[in-house]
A and B are shown apart, each in its own frame.
Chain A
Amino acid sequence: MSPRPFKKALLRLGFYGAIGVLLLYAVFPFYYAVLTSLKPSSALFQVSYWTDKADLSNYAAVLQQASFVQAIGNSVFVAVCVVALALFLSLTAAYALGRVKFRGRATVLLLVLGVSMFPQVAVLSGLFEVIRALGLYNSAWALILSYTIFTLPFTVWVLTTFIGQLPGELEEAAIMDGASPWVALTRVLLPLLWPALVTTGLLAFIAAWNEFLFALTFTLTDQQRTVPVAIALISGGSQHELPWGLLMAASVMVTVPLVLLVLVFQRRIVSGLTTGALKG
């Protein structure tokens, strides 16, 4: 026996061990949340790594709370509207920035990049005033409007990169065919941009779904809350009396759609994230 195959096997073992640790680290907290949510409140305070019978009473309790169901509806509405608004605004902007050479293009790009680095709290007071002036305080529209501050720079940036990668002759062919910029964008480039739109839309959706600071500040009543705020505000009498089972059930329900999206669109999400960052 030479030591070489032995060393190789050891290396392999170490590698798969590391992968295992990584997976455990990444997935365990979510697994534990699922586990907790399936325990009846009597078993909640005994730490365990497995439960034999799934108890759905926590989920039933969450769904019986009208305000939580309402919050899910609000979150979906806000996120979908934000995605639609951001994609529409950024698609035309990305055409301008990605395909047309004009004076001021670099300045606009810099501006967009600058906004993406804003600390949200820096605009909180000014935005609060704008929202109140527009009569949007404590409404979903306040959130839809304010969420463009962090979705728009990102979607513009990523779509500009994608749209700039389409071959130039394609648009020139459209120009020879007599297409105006709007026609070239909507009838020739847009159909080729669907993958990019799905990617950026997905990332914008996740960002809007997860947002907390604006949602906490610009909404007041249970009827207008989004899910993150609703979860943050679930409380018992004190820190120690938090209804953990209920909380975990709500958390799992909010997260499962995202986890599924991530698992299904993993490749697209990664490409979108790295386009936004590395090529920026």
Chain B
Amino acid sequence: MSKLQLDNVNKQLGGLRILRDISLEIASGEFVVFVGPSGCGKSTLLRLIAGLESICAGDLLIDGRRVNDLEPRERGVGMVFQSYALYPHMSVYDNIGFGLKLAKTDKRSLRERVLETARILQLDKLLQRKPKELSGGQRQRVAMGRAMAREPDILLFDEPLSNLDAALRVQMRNEIARLHDRLGTTMIYVTHDQVEAMTLADKIVVLNAGRIEQVGTPRELYERPASRFVAGFLGSPRMNFLPARLLAPGPQSLIETPALGRLTALTFDSSALAADSPLSLGVRPEHLALQAAPGSAGLVVTGVEYLGCETYVHLDVGEDEPLICRCQTNAPWRVGDRVEVLADAGNLHLFDVEGAALPRRPAPDAASPRALAQGYA
């Protein structure tokens, strides 16, 4: 049974279309992360599900019931805000219990629910404190407790960790993951941080300019991005993109890049495209390997970034941005060296001029690395 369903949802504000034809299904108990650059509409989408923003066209269904015209409390959703928005004049106990109190819950069960929530979030000893007497992580937990106390079916998180420092962010990320395992509540989480998205999500929804770019598991999105945008958005350092030209369309593509020369028998179906179409070849830094090039062949190393656990080697390919290659720290390359680039053919990506990924054909020898820069002089 689908827990939450968006059906062609549109949102317009001041003549500007903020969300465009959003259709999405979120299963009961799923952890879904909305991710995208700022201004992509992800927060608006969350607030629209919460009932804080109106839906201009389309339907929002929870458990098959259309909830467009229901108030937040009738929708059975709870929300954790970016700034926490704790009531500064109330104790932790009252913060958590405020919603229950407004719902006219009787005193005994209110107390039980607040104490239970506090126990889950390890706030037991802080119940009499005011928000200003709490640390950042504790405030974050109170905000979650307040959202949880009325036992909503769906919990919404609006960039909840962006106000915390890096170490605490990792810790709270783990706590949220554990909380999800424990409660089994449907959670929808907005972030612009791809690490949060990758680590927390059952399902990631990538938004761009008010549209859904792709929906899938973190693995699907990382390994088989449907568009150049998704490919570039997830992964750090980001995927390398090289301009390319389609030489021979067909079930197996033959392309040429100015930097790397010809690549034959790629496992992409380019039958729908005309010969000579411009393409974009994508390859992640970790799917490249380097070997010394003889004489004046190969690419020139223009930079070496040592990070302790790995090293990024920058290669000049005649573009604005260098080709980045992720190597082990013991890699011998120095600036000025000439190297030959090897790539995992199964992990190449090819995008058309609109940024859509070319359909992929199952590859017979996906695992064997091939030299990319063979034809390069």
Binding site for B on A (CB under 8 A): 167, 169-170, 172-179, 183, 187-188, 191-192
Cross-chain contact B73 with A173 (CB below 8 angstroms)? no
* Residues of B in contact with A (beta carbons under 8 Å apart): 50, 52, 71-73, 77-79, 81-83, 85-89, 98-99, 102-103, 146-147, 150
Contacts A170-B85, A173-B81; A178 near B52 (Cβ below 8 A): no
> CA of A113 to CA of B86 in the docked complex: distance in angstroms?
34
The 7 closest A-B pairs by CB, nearest first: A177-B99, A178-B73, A169-B85, A173-B85, A191-B89, A169-B81, A178-B102
User: How far is A192 from B130 in the complex, measured between Cα atoms in Å?
Assistant: 14
Minimum CB–CB distance from A166 to chain B (whole Å) comes to 10
Q: How far in angstroms is the closest Cβ of chain A from B76?
A: 11
Whether B102 pairs with A173 at a CB distance below 8 angstroms is: no
Can you give 17 A-B contacts (C-beta < 8 A)?
A169-B81, A169-B82, A169-B83, A169-B85, A172-B79, A172-B85, A173-B79, A175-B71, A176-B72, A176-B73, A176-B77, A176-B78, A177-B73, A177-B150, A178-B71, A178-B72, A178-B103
Contact A173 B146 (CB under 8 A): yes
Residues of chain A within 8 A of B85, CB atoms compared: 167, 169-170, 172-173
Q: Which residues of B contact A169 (CB under 8 A)?
A: 81-83, 85
Q: How far is the CA of A35 from the CA of B236 in the complex (A)?
A: 79
Q: Tell me the minimal C-beta distance from A81 to chain B in angstroms.
A: 27
Nearest-Cβ distance from residue A129 to partner chain B, whole angstroms: 46
Asked, given contacts A169-B82, A172-B81, whether A177 binds B89 with beta carbons under 8 Å apart, the answer is no
A84 to chain B minimum Cβ distance, whole angstroms, is 22
Instruction: List the A side residues contacting B102 at CB < 8 Å.
Output: 177-179, 183
- Write the chain A residue with the least CB distance to B82: A169
Q: Given the known A-B contacts A169-B82, A169-B83, are A175 and B89 also in contact in the complex, defined by CB atoms under 8 Å? A: no
Partner of A173 from B77, B87, B89 at Cβ < 8 Å: B87
* Further contacts, 15 of them, CB under 8 A, given A172-B79, A177-B146: A167-B83, A173-B79, A173-B86, A175-B52, A175-B71, A175-B72, A176-B50, A177-B73, A177-B98, A177-B102, A179-B98, A179-B102, A187-B98, A188-B87, A192-B89
How many angstroms between the C-alpha atoms of A176 and B143 in the bound complex?
Answer: 12
Rounded to whole angstroms, the CA-CA distance of A170 and B72 in the bound complex is 15
B75 to chain A: closest residue by CB: A176
* Minimum C-beta distance from B343 to chain A (A): 47
Q: Which residues of A contact B98 (CB under 8 A)?
A: 174, 177, 179, 187
Q: How far is B86's CA from A178's CA once the two chains are assembled, in angstroms?
A: 15
Q: Closest CB-CB distance, A55 to chain B, in whole Å?
A: 51
How many cross-chain pairs have Cβ atoms below 8 Å apart between A and B? 53
Which of A169, A175, A176, A179 has the most chain B CB within a 10 Å cutoff? A176
Provide the bound-state CA to CA distance between A192 and B86, in Å. 12
Q: How far is the CA of A109 from the CA of B78 in the complex (A)?
A: 35
**B77 / chain A contacts, CB cutoff of 8 Å:** 176
B105 to chain A, nearest CB (A): 11
Give B158's nearest chain A residue, CB to CB. A169
CA distance A191 to B86 in the complex (A): 13
Query: Which residues on A sit within 8 Å (CB–CB) of B52?
Result: 172, 175-176
Chain B CB count within 10 A is highest, among A170, A174, A175, A177, for A177
* A178 CB, nearest partner CB in chain B, Å: 4
**CA–CA, A70 and B346, complex, Å:** 96
B88: which of A175, A183, A192 is its contact (CB, 8 Å)?
A192
How far, in Å, is A105 (CB) from chain B's closest CB?
A: 16
Report chain B residues within 8 Å CB of A174: 87, 98
B87 touches A176 (CB 8 A): no
Closest to A172 in B: B52
A188 to B88, CA, bound (A): 9
Closest approach, in angstroms, between the C-beta of B95 and any C-beta of chain A? Answer: 9
Give bound CA distance, A178 to B85, whole Å.
Answer: 15
Enumerate chain A residues within 8 angstroms of B82, measured Cβ to Cβ: 169
* B73 partner residues in chain A, CB cutoff 8 A: 176-178
Chain B residue nearest to A179 (CB atoms) is B102
A188 to B146, CA, bound (A): 14
User: What's the nearest-Cβ distance from chain A to residue B93, in Å?
Assistant: 14
Cα separation A187 to B94 with both chains bound (whole Å): 12
What residues of chain A lie closer than 8 Å to B147, measured between beta carbons?
176
Q: Taking each of A167, A169, A174, A191, which has the highest tally of chain B beta carbons within 10 Å of its own beta carbon? A: A169
With a CB–CB cut-off of 8 A, which chain B residues contact A191?
89
Beta-carbon contact of B89 and A176 below 8 Å: no
Residues of B within 8 A of A179 (CB): 98, 102
B83 and A176 form a contact (CB under 8 A)? no
**Shortest beta-carbon distance from B48 to chain A in Å:** 13
State A169–B78 Cα separation when bound (angstroms): 14
| Chain A contacts for B86, CB-based, 8 A | 173
List, in ascending order, chain B residues with CB within 8 A of A175's CB: 52, 71-72
B103 close to A170 (CB less than 8 A):
no
Residues of the B chain whose Cβ atoms lie less than 8 Å from the Cβ of A172: 52, 79, 81, 85
